[in-house]
Chains A and B, each alone.
Chain A
Amino acid sequence: MLENNQTTAMRESLSALMDDEASEMELLRVLKAVEQQPELRQRWASYQMIAASMRGEVPVAPYVDLSSSISAALEDEPVHALVVAEKTWLHRVGRMAIAASVAGAVIVTGQLSGFGLGDVGSDGASVLAASGAPAVSGAVPSGALPAGFRAPDLAARTVSSHKSMPAAEGRTLVKRAPSAPVNRRPSPEVQAYLQQVMQLHADNASVNTGRGVLSYARVPAVKVQPPESSK
């Protein structure tokens, strides 16, 4: 019963937030609750989707959950390395800006979804070896995804080697050093490369999943064809 009341109160806070009527306390409470309750997070996403569709703004990828990014940005603390992957992109944005934009932040297009991006060079300067131990992720989500992509649910494990997959000899997981400068600009190269591999994979899927040319429906339609050559 108590739980039900709490849930109802939380839903009220959520809808107040949707209507731009939430206090700062309510905002923090919602963000905290959303972190712990996937059900509430999904509800929030649904509300956002409805509101967006009523404004005629339904993007290609309506469900991009950035709520924990927002929480992380608000916490204003160093983020633990194991969960850093999905949480840092808003870090430098001011509190006010976050609070103001929070109601609209759950829905963004693929342009903002969390795909790690970094100039990992082959010089080793920004490369950490992680053989043996479970690797931590220093991926910095920013950059761009092909239209229609979204970052997977944040509950998923972040980029790291699987615990049950011991790092094999001779193979080293390359990670960005936390101190390395961060490239936050969207990268057309990553976008173009993903688009390219998607398209090539669709060739594979079209002959190898028993659904023929229907598989090409999965390749996002983009205005600009990816460049043929890589730098």
Chain B
Amino acid sequence: MVHALYKSFLFSSPRSPFKWRRPLLATAVYLFACMPVGAAENLDRVGALLGGMSQALREQSYQGLFTYEHGGALETLKLLHQVSDGIEVSSLEHLNGPAQRYSPSARKTDCLSPSDRRLRGLLPDVSGTLADLATHYHFYIREDQRVAGREATVLQIVPRDEYRFGHTFTIDKATSLPLGAMIFTPNKTVLERLQFVDLSLLTDAEPLAVAPSAFLCQSEPAPQELWRVGWMPSGFMSAGVNRSESVGDMMMFTDGLSSFSVFIRRSVAGVAAQGQAQRGATVAFMQQYRFGQTVYTVSVVGEVPVRTAQRIANSIQPVGQG
């Protein structure tokens, strides 16, 4: 019974230059391998694509269904994003598995994160181009695709070093929204894929019942930090710090396309674990360190290779030491 099925996997032959790990993603990789290599890195066009996507995601009202595929598992989710009077609210609902819904807090659409600013070319150091991103990634515009019944431009972003993952965005020509997003390792193993099945713009968005005073734009990274990250891949910048009773100190970083978060707190019995875990492109690396007389649990969670996460964790220092 099983024998008969083996044949169906023969197409993932070892002759392929890419590593084959998850058959369900094989098709995606296959397309990826067959694409003609982009001739020129047209940074202006890439900048327009990324900036347009960043803007559309936040400023348009839309709803859709999409699939999230990782490690051979396939999940379906429902997304709703509404904008009214410059305020955005969104919700995300898992349609299979345990019922779960995320409703991130509302934000003002003109409250831009470091990533938004980088993707839209608004950071002062990049003077309107993607110069900084382009030092860490190669950009390729691939053949157009049709996804969710819509024509889309395919932008492939390949890391120039081994410290970060690559991305493929399939961007709707009409709305600039991402219809598909894929993350792959520097070796071009696909880790996760997200793809819309159905997407529609909401024309008459109902007014949102959110008081504009209920939220603040997250300010610039607080200058006073208790921890210093001694090493991180170049191109990453701070995206803020946070502190909470339950998880301890949190530091956020982004290079515009990938992000990671560092969590540090005193070790408590039961959670003093060490190890690493991965789900799709998200890696969690946890380790215990002693600083002075106290043992701390350091966790690095992010869309970065596990060795990057490990190196970041190993470089954490309390401010004032070293």
Residues of A within 8 A of B (CB): 15, 18-19, 39, 42-43, 45-47, 49-51, 54, 58-63, 85, 110, 113-122, 127, 129, 137, 139, 141, 143, 145-152, 156-157, 159, 161-162, 165, 167-176, 187, 189-190, 193-194, 196-198, 200-214, 216-223, 228-231
B66 contacts the other chain (CB 8 A): yes
Whether the pair A119, B245 counts as a contact (CB closer than 8 A) is no
Known: A116-B274, A209-B257, A230-B271. A149 touches B295 (CB 8 A): no
Within the complex, the shortest CB–CB distance from B19 to chain A, in Å, comes to 8
Closest to B230 in A: A168
Please tell me which one of the listed residues A203, A213, A217 contacts residue B68 in the complex, with CB atoms under 8 A apart.
Answer: A217
Within the complex, the shortest CB–CB distance from A87 to chain B, in Å, comes to 13
Residues of B within 8 A of A (CB): 1-3, 5-6, 9, 12, 14, 19-23, 50, 53-54, 57-58, 66, 68, 70-73, 75, 77, 79, 81, 90-92, 94, 97-100, 102, 104, 107, 113-116, 119, 178, 181, 192, 194, 218, 230-231, 239-240, 242, 244-247, 250, 252, 254, 256-261, 263, 266-284, 286-295, 299, 301-303, 306-307, 310-311, 314-318, 321-322
Within the complex, the shortest CB–CB distance from B279 to chain A, in Å, comes to 5
In the bound complex, CA of A209 to CA of B2 (Å): 41
Known: A152-B276, A159-B275. A171 touches B268 (CB 8 A): no
Whether the pair B181, A207 counts as a contact (CB closer than 8 A) is no
Closest to A194 in B: B284
In the bound complex, CA of A80 to CA of B135 (Å): 41
Residues of A within 8 A of B14 (CB): 39
In the bound complex, CA of A206 to CA of B181 (Å): 13
Whether the pair A117, B102 counts as a contact (CB closer than 8 A) is no
Residues of A within 8 A of B94 (CB): 221
Whether the pair B314, A170 counts as a contact (CB closer than 8 A) is no
Known: A15-B3, A194-B284, A205-B259. A49 touches B275 (CB 8 A): no
Please tell me which one of the listed residues B68, B98, B102, B261 contacts residue A200 in the complex, with CB atoms under 8 A apart.
Answer: B261
Known: A120-B272, A150-B277, A187-B270. A211 touches B178 (CB 8 A): yes
Main secondary structure of the interface of A (DSSP, over half): loop
Within the complex, the shortest CB–CB distance from B281 to chain A, in Å, comes to 8
Known: A157-B310, A161-B314, A214-B66. A51 touches B270 (CB 8 A): no
Closest 5 CB pairs of A and B: A116-B275, A208-B254, A174-B288, A189-B270, A221-B100
Within the complex, the shortest CB–CB distance from A163 to chain B, in Å, comes to 11
Closest to B20 in A: A42
Residues of B within 8 A of A46 (CB): 9, 12, 23
Within the complex, the shortest CB–CB distance from B194 to chain A, in Å, comes to 6
In the bound complex, CA of A72 to CA of B26 (Å): 31
Whether the pair A200, B250 counts as a contact (CB closer than 8 A) is yes
Known: A150-B277, A151-B278, A222-B100. A62 touches B270 (CB 8 A): no
Whether the pair A214, B79 counts as a contact (CB closer than 8 A) is yes
Whether the pair A201, B282 counts as a contact (CB closer than 8 A) is yes
Residues of B within 8 A of A203 (CB): 104
Whether the pair B294, A173 counts as a contact (CB closer than 8 A) is no
Closest to A166 in B: B314
Known: A152-B306, A159-B287, A204-B239. A85 touches B275 (CB 8 A): yes
Residues of A within 8 A of B9 (CB): 43, 46, 50
Within the complex, the shortest CB–CB distance from B110 to chain A, in Å, comes to 13
Closest to B111 in A: A207
Can you list 6 A-B contacts (CB < 8 A)?
A49-B23, A175-B274, A189-B270, A201-B260, A211-B194, A231-B269
Closest to B295 in A: A122
Within the complex, the shortest CB–CB distance from A115 to chain B, in Å, comes to 4
Known: A119-B272, A228-B246. A213 touches B303 (CB 8 A): no
Whether the pair B259, A165 counts as a contact (CB closer than 8 A) is no
Closest to B72 in A: A62
Residues of B within 8 A of A213 (CB): 57, 79, 81, 90-92, 102, 104
In the bound complex, CA of A231 to CA of B316 (Å): 24
Whether the pair A210, B119 counts as a contact (CB closer than 8 A) is yes
Residues of A within 8 A of B81 (CB): 212-213
Residues of A within 8 A of B116 (CB): 207, 210
In the bound complex, CA of A43 to CA of B6 (Å): 9
Closest to B57 in A: A212
Within the complex, the shortest CB–CB distance from B299 to chain A, in Å, comes to 5
Whether the pair B259, A115 counts as a contact (CB closer than 8 A) is no
In the bound complex, CA of A209 to CA of B239 (Å): 11
